[in-house]
Structure 1
Amino acid sequence: MPVVKMYTTAVCPFCIRAKQLLNAKGVSEIEEIRIDIDAQARAYMMEVTGRRTVPQIFIGDTHVGGCDDLMALDAKGGLVALLQS
């Protein structure tokens, strides 16, 4: 299973929801990067994704996007395939 990396903040209901979905799909480890306590990580996330909101989710080298993007990917059946790649 590829590494799952998620840019988050301490209080983020969308981050919690995304983690719940990933856990339900068998992801046991999520590398969380807290951008509310790491300004450099926030700047890097914004540079790489072009987005300011959290969560920003990466599965392997693929930028999935935010929580809504993750849910949409799952609804299309693409999440499991990406996690198994």
Structure 2
Amino acid sequence: MGNTSSSTDESKAFVSNALATNGVSVFSKTYCPYCTKAKNVLNSVGVQYTVYELDKMPNGDSILKTLYEMTGRDTVPNVFIKSTTIGGGDDVYTLHREGKLVNMLKEAGVLA
């Protein structure tokens, strides 16, 4: 087992960097229908976002654990505007349906 703390530190650094670098980050898995739902909503509003497919990343499980520690959400997708989680697929869809998502993106400066 040995090196779990260093991989956790790496995952924390990875997530921190991703959130600091991207306007919108989507932590996803390629086979997840809720992830597809969230990406489709983001595509429909025309915002640029960065996707991290955790099932394709060697440290994906560790990143998911870090996200859980940060947000209390242990499922994907986990969608962030800057460093604020806005939830998963159903949450993103509901925000959009209620007309809140675009305003959140504009307020964060990630959508014109």
Q: Between the two structures, name the one with larger relative contact order (CA 8 Å, sep ≥ 6).
A: 1
Relative to total residues, which structure has the larger helix share, 1 or 2?
2
Identity rate, percent: 36
For the 8 Å contact 1:33–1:41, the answer to whether it is kept is: no
Normalization by structure 1: what TM-score?
0.85
Unmatched runs of 5 consecutive residues or more in structure 2? 1-21, 108-112
Query: SS in structure 1 opposite 2:76?
Result: coil
After TM superposition, what 4+ stretches of structure 1 lie above 4 angstroms from structure 2? none
Relative to total residues, which structure has the larger strand share, 1 or 2?
1
**Structure whose CA Rg is larger:** 2
The equivalent position to 1:72 in structure 2, one of 94, 101, 106, is 94
User: CA RMSD, aligned part only?
Assistant: 1.5
Q: Deviations over 1:18-67 (max 9, x none)?
A: 1111011011x322222223222111111111111110100122210011
> How far 1:17 moved relative to its partner?
1.4
Unmatched runs of 5 consecutive residues or more in structure 1? none
- Aligned residue pairs: how many? 83
The equivalent position to 1:11 in structure 2, one of 31, 41, 55, is 31
Normalization by structure 2: what TM-score?
0.67
Query: SS in structure 2 opposite 1:5?
Result: strand
For the 8 Å contact 2:37–2:93, the answer to whether it is kept is: no
Separation in structure 2 between the aligned mates of residue 4 and residue 78 of structure 1, nearest angstrom: 15
Separation in structure 2 between the aligned mates of residue 20 and residue 79 of structure 1, nearest angstrom: 13
